[in-house]
Amino acid sequence: MPRSTPPDSGPEEDFIARLLSRKKRLLVNRSSQFQDSGFPNAEHLAETVTFAPQDGFIWLCGQRMMLLQGSAFGAMRRELIKSMGKDKARGLLTRLGWQAGARDAAQVAEQWPEGDHAALYSAGPRLHMLEGMVNVEAVRFEIDNSIGHFYSEFLWHNSLEADEHLATYGLSDEAVCWMSIGYASGYASSLSGRLIVFRELECCGCGQAACRIVGKPANQWDDVSAELAYLDAEAFLSESNHPMPEDDGLLASEYEVDLSAEMVGGSSGFIAARQLLEKVAPTQATVLLTGESGVGKEFFAQTLHQHSRRSDRPWVALNCANLPENLVEAELFGVERGAFTGAERSRPGRFERADGGTLFLDEIGSLSASAQSKILRALQEGEFERVGGNTSIKVDVRVIAATHVDLRAEVAAGRFREDLFYRLNVYPIHLPPLRERREDIQPLMSYFLRRFTQRYEKSIPGFTTRLVNVLLTHTFPGNIRELQNLIERGVITCDEGEAMDVKHITLGNKESFLTPTGLTASGRLQPAAVAETVASAAVPDAELGRDELFGAETALDNLRAFVSGQRRELGTTLEDVETMLIRLALEKSDGNITAAAQMLGMSRAQVSYRIKSQK
Ligand SMILES: [Zn+2]
């Protein structure tokens, strides 16, 4: 039967058709056996295991994992069977396994986009082994996507689930490795984009020497209604596979969908903040955003504005810390001509320009007492005077304020007006630092990689496992902004088509990144150490200290802000900009001064002189 034949309508075909429409597809064009070579291999997968015991994290392929006693799993399995009956418990465990398998497949496809097709499929059984569920022996393993062929037959030894079942119930008259079967089906289906059903034909739980399992596309089995029932296709699809919602509701769904699409993150702290944002966006409430520098307060504020009823009105932002004290009030409320020397024309302030829209006041904690009282009045009465003026101006402005300092402490210290604090603190949203939302690091890495490869028109396939491990355990004092800078720098430094590695983001800085505790291919833990590639990437003639590196980063940021018009002054010396460019060139040339000089259109002597003059 040709594969293009549309399926008959029916619940099974519907299920298959919906699975087929999933975004992630993988085409496998050649037939291959389950093998130990290929990319990614067992060693590559083992390298993705990272332990961060000091933070309470275990990672595998960028996913947070947990170590749980097999016996605790066995006890839960027993309780499920007892309380909900065998069939329901079997369905639940099958779906749990499916979830695990589908997630692993999605991560593997994301991490090795250039991976060998057969190896990507083989990664499923390997991860299943790494996660401690079974020992897989391949009997037959055939894939040929050109004719839609998929057939695999494995033997499972040491099945954890069978052992637990035997320990509780003794020999069973039917196969019992439910979660494992769910895993195999979920992995293969997610990777191929069509429903692959695995079935256990023999099982240790029934007294056989090994579990024998066979996987085929659903339409090649005689009858998969039992399997589909355990997968509970309809409920399963609607709850766990995140199909795009049918968008006929006009109210909440419209902007919620947009928010989750725009905002990257799935950690509990981030989701809590995002939900607060979703709730307050359509209201008129004043919002106070708190959190360390670099956590994305301005991005949150902008998103809030875009999803408010004022989205088609002005968005005006002011960083109160960037202005000299005597200019803050003029900037906020405007100036009447002749108010002070240099005020040759009258001009409106940010409050006036934001009329009808949203005014974002960043670093509100740094305002002077006089500016604080004027803002309080503007908030309370919606009116103010320009500097040097005596006519009241009425505006309708929604204020979003942000601060990285503890305003309550500032109030207690007498530096911040208590009444203004309560006026602003109507709806506080705290944004957690990146080190408290580590689950979001890898999605953010991928997001910034897409963004910067587009901006710099470069093709970079992804990250090395080592870089992912290093960043998953980095402390990120500069938060998301630091991560963003690192990925941008990596995109600039990386060669076309090369995977981004630790050396691309360090610029020769030796000490700031540690290789975390991880697994060797033989399963032994290796302790944390200074990332080895960092040392090898060090620039021999121009080793950089930590301070110098931070100087270069600031120079790059300032230059970018200046060019884009966000800064009125460059705020950095031309020398620093030059130093930064020389460092980038040296990094790209692996410390070869002649090659770096060529990149910059300078002579070797010029570059050499500048390196020496920095010491
Ligand atoms: Zn079994």
Residue 2: pLDDT band with limits 50, 70, 90? very low
Q: Quick one: 178 exposed, middle or buried, by C-beta within 10 A (0-12, 13-18, 19+)?
A: buried
The rounded mean pLDDT for the chain is: 79
Q: What is the pLDDT of residue 315?
A: 94
**Ligand 1 mean position to 204 CA, how many Å?**
5
For residues 113-117, average pLDDT: 77
Q: What is the pLDDT of residue 28?
A: 33
**Ligand 1 mean position to 188 CA, how many Å?**
18
Q: What is the pLDDT of residue 30?
A: 32
Q: Does 254 score more than 90 pLDDT? A: no
**Ligand 1 mean position to 234 CA, how many Å?**
26
Which helix or strand (DSSP H or E) is residue 362 part of? strand 358-362
Ion ligand 1 residue ranges (Cβ < 5 Å): 159, 162, 177, 203, 211
Tell me the pLDDT tens digit for each residue of 505-519. 886 665 467 666 776
**Ligand 1 mean position to 368 CA, how many Å?**
71
How is 194-240 classified by DSSP, letter by letter?
S-EEEEEEE-GGGT-SSEEEEEEEGGGSS--HHHHHHHTHHHHHHHH
Residue 289: pLDDT band with limits 50, 70, 90? very high
**Ligand 1 mean position to 94 CA, how many Å?**
13
Could you tell me the two tokens for 165? 């079942």
**Ligand 1 mean position to 200 CA, how many Å?**
7
Q: Which of 303-317, 472-486, 589-603 has the lowest mean pLDDT?
A: 589-603
Q: What is the pLDDT of residue 527?
A: 60
**Ligand 1 mean position to 239 CA, how many Å?**
28
**Ligand 1 mean position to 95 CA, how many Å?**
16
Residue 32: pLDDT band with limits 50, 70, 90? very low
**Ligand 1 mean position to 134 CA, how many Å?**
9
DSSP 245: P
**Ligand 1 mean position to 44 CA, how many Å?**
28
Residue 100 near residue 128, CB atoms below 8 Å: no
Residue 247: pLDDT band with limits 50, 70, 90? very low
Q: What is the pLDDT of residue 176?
A: 96
**Ligand 1 mean position to 445 CA, how many Å?**
39
User: To the nearest whole percent, how much of the chain has pLDDT over 90?
Assistant: 35
**Ligand 1 mean position to 19 CA, how many Å?**
26
Tell me the pLDDT tens digit for each residue of 515-571. 667 766 666 666 655 433 333 332 332 333 333 333 455 666 677 777 766 667 776
More confident residue, 48 or 344: 48
More confident residue, 495 or 42: 495
Residue 261: pLDDT band with limits 50, 70, 90? low
Q: What is the pLDDT of residue 522?
A: 64
HEC assignment per residue over 445-475: HHHHHHHHHHHCCCCCCCECHHHHHHHHHCC
Q: What is the pLDDT of residue 609?
A: 74
More confident residue, 413 or 232: 413
**Ligand 1 mean position to 171 CA, how many Å?**
11
Q: What is the pLDDT of residue 534?
A: 32
**Ligand 1 mean position to 511 CA, how many Å?**
49
pTM for this structure?
0.61
**Ligand 1 mean position to 399 CA, how many Å?**
61
More confident residue, 375 or 541: 375
Q: Quick one: 17 exposed, middle or buried, by C-beta within 10 A (0-12, 13-18, 19+)?
A: middle
For residues 292-311, average pLDDT: 92
How is 474-508 classified by DSSP, letter by letter?
---TTHHHHHHHHHHHHHHHSPTTPPB-HHHHHTT
Integer-rounded Cα radius of gyration of the chain: 29
Residue 474: pLDDT band with limits 50, 70, 90? confident
Between the alpha carbon of residue 82 and those of residues 93, 204, 420, the distances in Å are: 14, 22, 59
Residue 251: pLDDT band with limits 50, 70, 90? very low
For residues 210-236, average pLDDT: 82
**Ligand 1 mean position to 463 CA, how many Å?**
37
**Ligand 1 mean position to 177 CA, how many Å?**
4
For residues 462-470, average pLDDT: 86
Q: What is the pLDDT of residue 355?
A: 93
**Ligand 1 mean position to 209 CA, how many Å?**
10
More confident residue, 254 or 158: 158
Q: What is the pLDDT of residue 260?
A: 61
DSSP, collapsed to helix, strand or coil, labels residue 172 as coil
How is 305-350 classified by DSSP, letter by letter?
HHTSTTTTS-EEEEEGGGS-HHHHHHHHHEE-TTSSTT--S-EE-H
**Ligand 1 mean position to 152 CA, how many Å?**
16
Q: Does 8 score more than 50 pLDDT? A: no
**Ligand 1 mean position to 215 CA, how many Å?**
14
Q: What is the pLDDT of residue 512?
A: 62
Dihedral angle, C-alpha 350, 356, 358, 359, nearest 10 °: 20
Range picked from 89-103, 232-246, 321-335, 499-513 for highest mean pLDDT: 89-103
**Ligand 1 mean position to 80 CA, how many Å?**
18
**Ligand 1 mean position to 85 CA, how many Å?**
19
- The angle subtended at Cα 443 by Cα 438 and Cα 444, nearest 5°, is 80
**Ligand 1 mean position to 158 CA, how many Å?**
9
More confident residue, 600 or 132: 132
**Ligand 1 mean position to 154 CA, how many Å?**
11
Range picked from 139-153, 247-261, 400-414, 459-473 for highest mean pLDDT: 400-414
- Beta pairing partners, 384: 393
**Ligand 1 mean position to 217 CA, how many Å?**
20
**Ligand 1 mean position to 179 CA, how many Å?**
10
Q: What is the pLDDT of residue 439?
A: 82
